[in-house]
Structure 1
Amino acid sequence: MSRAAATPSRWEAQRGFDELGRPLRDVTFCVVDLETTGGSAAAGSMITEIGAVKVRGGVVLGEFQTLVNPHAAIPAFIAVLTGITNSMVSDAPPIESALPAFLEFAAGTVLVAHNAPFDVGFLRHFANAQDLTWPGFEVLCTAKLARRVITRDDAPNCKLSSLAQVFNATTTPNHRALSDARATVDVLHGLMERLGGLGVHTLEELQTFTARVSTAQRRKRHLAEGLPHAPGVYLFRDDRSRVLYVGTSKDLRTRVRTYFTASETRSRMGEMVGLAESVTAITCATPLEAEVRELRLIAEHKPKYNRRSRFPEKVHFIKLTREPWPRLSMVRRVLDDDADYLGPFSSRKSAEKSLAALHDTFPVRQCSDRFGASPSRTPCVLAEMGRCLSPCDGGVDPTTYAAMVRSLRDSLIRSPDDVVDAISRRMTALADLERFEEAGVHRDRLATFVRAAARTQRLSALSRCPEVVAARREDDGRWAVHVVRHGRLAAAGVIPPGGDAHHYVDQLRAGAETVSDAPGPVPAATAAETEKLLRWLESPGIRLVDVEGDWVCPVGGATRHLAIHDAVTHSRVSLVPFDEQRLAPPVASPVR
């Protein structure tokens, strides 16, 4: 694919601490603790005290403490636990005054709390109640971090009181907000010191640390240096420059860095990182271009550690032949022979199910013999069973056989109603006889055929178009433009701010890749690539700039039958016990 010269994006212009992460010594933390009347703000519990300590580089910069009048009686057991009584808060400021003061104190810091979802949840609840804009703090939970670091040999649990003893905190937690915040500061510093020996030195590494990422993985985080903050594709390579793994991201540097410092716990990824010696980045104009390049690179290099999309050439098709007595056959590739094809199928098993559904509906011959217009042979067992019209022994005239083939062809390329009706009747009859297992076999055949027909019709519709140009305003406000030719991405770009949109699109089209049409329903790309393009073209906010050709699917096509089959599949998965759901077949997303 080609791409017009793009101006530097907001990602490429971004530099500074995000290059390697923000060193912990330079980050200002606000360690906060709350005392409340209960466990749920949504259920009516109120804040009775806020305590916070602002710290950077091990130095305390300031403290914040205030009691809060909850305008409700404090339950006796809470008063006993915290020592905060109704009389103590009677003259205290309400939350409407205390919260804005705290937010001003904490502005520009990283919030830290022990069991942060509780404390931050209360603060956000009352901010929303007061229509205050939540500053969007980054949040660090010392309880969550401790569970990744502290072992049973260190402490029996990760309660604040237990951790305070482990790290010899200078303040003993006593269920008062400021004291508990001071103790949490010591716990935070103790955790940071311990993790420093494991190579965790930045806020990003601290936030995403997991003990399941090995020290050896963390030592290779330098491989992310020099990668841009831009959408694109990354390739992990070994010491012989062989590609180990291909991935894609909207932010290359941030994504690659997670393989060394974040919660990347897949064992095969740990093995891959252990072999990696370099990371190559290919920047792309748009995330869609990155996804397409990823597919093409995986197909080209077939990396050991990519599990999907490595062998797009290993597909099957069902072919309705062009000969005096047409038949259905399963083939591996599409020829330019004017025949009709259904597919591609990613597995032979799926192709066989769809083929069985068609043979159940249309009694075309299943023999592979070639014979002329007036054959004279002995009929096969299928003819004797009534499952073949038996042209081999003159059991059917050419006109009748041709009419049946026309109905079969119509089911392949336009409407699957004949197949749906025939198999539905068969399922009903088997269910009435309580032969549910046999009925299930036919149900699966029908579902597989309907999905294959819908996929073929959608792929064919786009691949028939010599060119489709579309644009969409992305999250950053810029317009992404893509040129698709015969189902293949030919060019991608982003209109520069203030630029002439028409002139830019004309340039993009002029420099786009030349793409020739492919035979049959096959697009001039892999089916996976064309399906990605279709999902983007069908997404909200798309503007069609120009369409050359007719991009249409049949009104009575297979897509309208998908909803019921997807619902059945979903219900089957939901009825499987939780620990066995991984054995159920995947649910296909509805095609619009």
Structure 2
Amino acid sequence: MGQLSFSDVDPRADPTLRETTFVVVDLETTGGRASGDRHDAITEIGAVKVRGGEVLGEFATLVDPGRAIPPQIVALTGITSAMVYDAPRIESVLPSFLEFCRGAVLVAHNAGFDMGFLRAAAERNQVPWPKPPVLCTVALARRVLTRDEAPSVKLSALARLFGASTTPTHRALDDARATVDVLHALIERVGNQGVHTYAELRAYLPDVTPAQRRKRHLAHSLPRSPGVYLFRGPSAEVLYVGTAVDLRRRVGQYFNGADPRTRMKEMASLATAVDHVECAHDLEAGVRELRLLAAHAPPYNRRSKFPHRWWWVTLTDEPFPRFSTVRTPRTDSAVGPFRSRADAFDAAALMARFTGVRTCTNRLGRKAFHGPTCPEREVSPCPAVRDADAQTYAAAVADARALIDGRDGRPLAAALSHIADLAERNRYETAARLRDHAAATIDVLWRGQRLRALSTIPELVAAKPDGDRGWHLAVVRHGQLASAGVAPRGVPPMPVVDALTAAAQSVLPGPGPLGGALVEETALIARWLGQAGVRIVRADAGYCSPIAAAGRWAHWAATARSARLAAEQLSASRLGSELLGEPHPTREQLFGRPGVDRLLRPRETGLPRGNPLGVAG
């Protein structure tokens, strides 16, 4: 006799799909970041409860996100800040919504997005998350439909394919109703393949190759602790590096179809072994991952593999320095990194323009003067003072170094003032281009100044609550993680701190930006230090940003990015060409009448035979 299933013991434990209650939910939000320090918020919830093809109820409400809705989101959804002004907050809506969903399977199109926002909102508001079963119609559509039948699995495309009764409009309830029709059509398809219960549907979803199934034993020996894992190939080469809170569970997902990416299936099929490094907490795991990526450059990882391919902007070492874009700067006073040389060049041009650093490329000796060999141009002239000797020119170089180090923000203030002046003179396209360059430059300057402030501290010890009355501890030296550990609940943390400090790695800063530390490692540590609840236990020097850092314009840069996204969306929909373009007056506006010298009036012939001295004659 075979092993009994739940349905053999209790038929109600394995209901058919027709007997299963589904709650199809859709959210509208202010952006795509569900968690973190600058997380986005929910603006609307729409849900439809169905069973056996019948609608049992609907749930719909606007939600006050507690902040202004970005213009690009307003253009996409039509939900404005005024519409949600009197709406309830998420802490009031979430308990009612969870009660509406009790006992049902939650369904969403791209469920990871919607469930991520709901879980994060529950965590922030101390609302217990019931961990309901979740079904993603994107994953189901990719499993059921061929690419020839459905090249795109977007909700709008599937709604057209199945003839949904409701058209998706980027409003929560409309999209939820459209998803109901898509769900029913997909369930009808799988029913023809012998899938009749929810348990059978869950087993049907993973698209696992036989090669993946044969490798499932590789995850069995891994611990259920946080750490880093390395997939190795037939020649012991590193194929892929990743981090996990639970190593065994995460690695096992590569062999059970939970990760639908084709390249991950290929990687799992090639793997012959999985190595791991247990870590004290998520920060140590993230740092070790970055270091392993830089060391091995695994072929199946897409990020952080080639930090030496980035571009930097630095001042040249000569009597008349100028900005130069380089791969490996030799000084700490560098701006970057940039992913493309074009972005680095734009930032260098903007900084040179408002600091007075020359852009001409002539080599000038110590006793030379700037100007005689510098070509005079009306368009994009060299911003340096002409006929200046090295001592006079040194003032502009000092301003540039002060801007990079965060000791003088006047060049950025001048750039923003110039952008405002261009807009007042109706030169909108020129102002928009300069705005985009200024926003990108502010972002990279502010990031570099924050990271440089951390990299100059010889030693910093920080602690973060672990959620169970214990502490995650980190020892940071010159922007690099030197040691990590945990002080569980009931263990005095300071003796653990002393032990970690004594055993910490010695870090000697080298030449180059951040003393030779990986930029992404220092950035990861800075983000960790900025999380809620993190405490600085001790530091050899003060941890602070420069007094005139670019951070004071960070909000302006964020607003500029939102304006650029809104302009792109308006341009794509062909609604904003007249509003965003510079004025192009018509011929009649310029000359006051049609034609030239009244020779081409309406209904007149093109050749004015009676006027041989006219333009046409």
Where on the TM-score scale, by shorter chain, does this alignment land: which range? 0.5 to 0.7
Q: 2:410 corresponds to which residue?
A: 418
Distance apart, 1:276 and its partner CA: 1.8
Instruction: Report whether the alignment pairs 1:352 with 2:352.
Output: no
Distance apart, 1:279 and its partner CA: 1.6
Contact in 2 for aligned 1:354/1:449 (Cα 8 Å): yes
Distance verdict in 2 for CA 1:158–1:150, change over 3 Å? farther
Contact in 2 for aligned 1:459/1:531 (Cα 8 Å): yes
Instruction: Report whether the alignment pairs 1:369 with 2:363.
Output: yes
Alpha-carbon displacement from aligned partner over 1:357-406 (angstroms, at most 9, x marks no partner): 01221332332514013459832215887524466xxx124553233322
Q: 1:266 corresponds to which residue?
A: 261
Q: 1:53 corresponds to which residue?
A: none
- Aligned partners of 2:326, 2:190: CA distance in 1, in Å? 69
Q: 2:396 corresponds to which residue?
A: 404
Alpha-carbon displacement from aligned partner over 1:448-480 (angstroms, at most 9, x marks no partner): 211121111111101100000001111344211
Contact in 2 for aligned 1:315/1:345 (Cα 8 Å): yes
Q: 1:225 corresponds to which residue?
A: 220
Instruction: Report whether the alignment pairs 1:187 with 2:196.
Output: yes
* Counterpart pick for 1:442 among 434, 437, 451: 434
* Counterpart pick for 1:30 among 6, 10, 13: 13
* Counterpart pick for 1:539 among 514, 531, 534: 531
- Aligned partners of 1:316, 1:297: CA distance in 2, in Å? 21
- Aligned partners of 2:140, 2:378: CA distance in 1, in Å? 74
CA RMSD of aligned residues (A): 4.6
* Counterpart pick for 1:548 among 510, 515, 540: 540
AA partner of residue 352 (structure 2):
H
Contact in 2 for aligned 1:523/1:530 (Cα 8 Å): no
Contact in 1 for aligned 2:419/2:435 (Cα 8 Å): yes
Instruction: Report whether the alignment pairs 1:378 with 2:372.
Output: yes
Instruction: Report whether the alignment pairs 1:318 with 2:310.
Output: no
Alpha-carbon displacement from aligned partner over 1:132-190 (angstroms, at most 9, x marks no partner): x98946537699998787789xxx9958997998699xxxxxxxxxxxxxxxxx9338x
- Aligned partners of 2:506, 2:281: CA distance in 1, in Å? 20
- Aligned partners of 2:238, 2:478: CA distance in 1, in Å? 29
Q: 1:527 corresponds to which residue?
A: 519
Distance apart, 1:432 and its partner CA: 4.5
Instruction: Give matches, 1:109-508, under 5 Å.
Output: 136=130, 139=133, 187-188=196-197, 192=200, 206=202, 210-321=205-316, 323-335=318-330, 340-365=333-358, 366-375=360-369, 378-382=372-376, 387-389=382-384, 395-415=387-407, 417-508=409-500
Contact in 1 for aligned 2:227/2:279 (Cα 8 Å): yes
Which of 374-383 and 548-557 deviates more?
374-383
Q: 1:588 corresponds to which residue?
A: none
AA partner of residue 224 (structure 1):
A
Alpha-carbon displacement from aligned partner over 1:506-539 (angstroms, at most 9, x marks no partner): 1111110000123464244200000000001111
Contact in 1 for aligned 2:461/2:475 (Cα 8 Å): yes
Name the SS for the 1:317 alignment partner: strand
Distance verdict in 2 for CA 1:519–1:222, change over 3 Å? same
Contact in 1 for aligned 2:357/2:400 (Cα 8 Å): no
Contact in 2 for aligned 1:244/1:272 (Cα 8 Å): yes
- Aligned partners of 1:310, 1:135: CA distance in 2, in Å? 37
- Aligned partners of 1:518, 1:24: CA distance in 2, in Å? 63
Name the SS for the 2:308 alignment partner: coil
Distance apart, 1:346 and its partner CA: 3.4
- Aligned partners of 2:246, 2:21: CA distance in 1, in Å? 40
Contact in 1 for aligned 2:371/2:388 (Cα 8 Å): no
Distance apart, 1:348 and its partner CA: 1.7
Alpha-carbon displacement from aligned partner over 1:42-63 (angstroms, at most 9, x marks no partner): 9999999xxxxxxxxxxxxxxx
- Aligned partners of 1:151, 1:327: CA distance in 2, in Å? 58
Give structure 1 stretches of 5+ with no counterpart.
1-22, 49-102, 104-109, 118-127, 169-185, 196-205, 582-592
Distance apart, 1:490 and its partner CA: 0.3
AA partner of residue 30 (structure 1):
A
Contact in 2 for aligned 1:468/1:548 (Cα 8 Å): yes
Distance verdict in 2 for CA 1:381–1:282, change over 3 Å? same
Between structure 1 and structure 2, the one with the greater Rg is 1
Q: What percent of counterpart residues are identical?
A: 34
Alpha-carbon displacement from aligned partner over 1:542-574 (angstroms, at most 9, x marks no partner): 111110123221233101211121222134335
Contact in 2 for aligned 1:31/1:112 (Cα 8 Å): no
TM-score, length-scaled by structure 1:
0.64
Which of 379-388 and 475-484 deviates more?
379-388
Contact in 1 for aligned 2:362/2:373 (Cα 8 Å): no
Name the SS for the 2:514 alignment partner: coil
Contact in 2 for aligned 1:115/1:144 (Cα 8 Å): no
Give structure 2 stretches of 5+ with no counterpart.
26-44, 52-98, 110-121, 147-181, 574-617
- Aligned partners of 1:527, 1:408: CA distance in 2, in Å? 22
Alpha-carbon displacement from aligned partner over 1:7-41 (angstroms, at most 9, x marks no partner): xxxxxxxxxxxxxxxx98999873575999xx9xx
Distance apart, 1:270 and its partner CA: 2.0
Contact in 1 for aligned 2:228/2:243 (Cα 8 Å): yes
Name the SS for the 1:381 alignment partner: coil
Distance verdict in 2 for CA 1:351–1:416, change over 3 Å? farther
- Aligned partners of 1:518, 1:27: CA distance in 2, in Å? 68
Contact in 2 for aligned 1:316/1:346 (Cα 8 Å): yes
Name the SS for the 2:481 alignment partner: strand
Which of 522-531 and 569-578 deviates more?
569-578
Greater RCO structure (CA 8 Å; 6+ sep): 1
Contact in 2 for aligned 1:334/1:522 (Cα 8 Å): no
**Alignment coverage as a number of residue pairs:** 446
Distance verdict in 2 for CA 1:427–1:255, change over 3 Å? same
Distance verdict in 2 for CA 1:301–1:368, change over 3 Å? farther
- Aligned partners of 2:144, 2:377: CA distance in 1, in Å? 73
- Aligned partners of 2:348, 2:224: CA distance in 1, in Å? 48
Which of 216-225 and 370-379 deviates more?
370-379
Contact in 2 for aligned 1:330/1:351 (Cα 8 Å): yes
- Aligned partners of 2:106, 2:335: CA distance in 1, in Å? 58
Contact in 1 for aligned 2:230/2:276 (Cα 8 Å): yes
Contact in 2 for aligned 1:213/1:264 (Cα 8 Å): no
Which of 311-320 and 569-578 deviates more?
569-578
- Aligned partners of 2:145, 2:318: CA distance in 1, in Å? 73
Distance apart, 1:334 and its partner CA: 3.2
AA partner of residue 525 (structure 1):
A
Contact in 2 for aligned 1:481/1:505 (Cα 8 Å): yes
Distance apart, 1:414 and its partner CA: 1.7
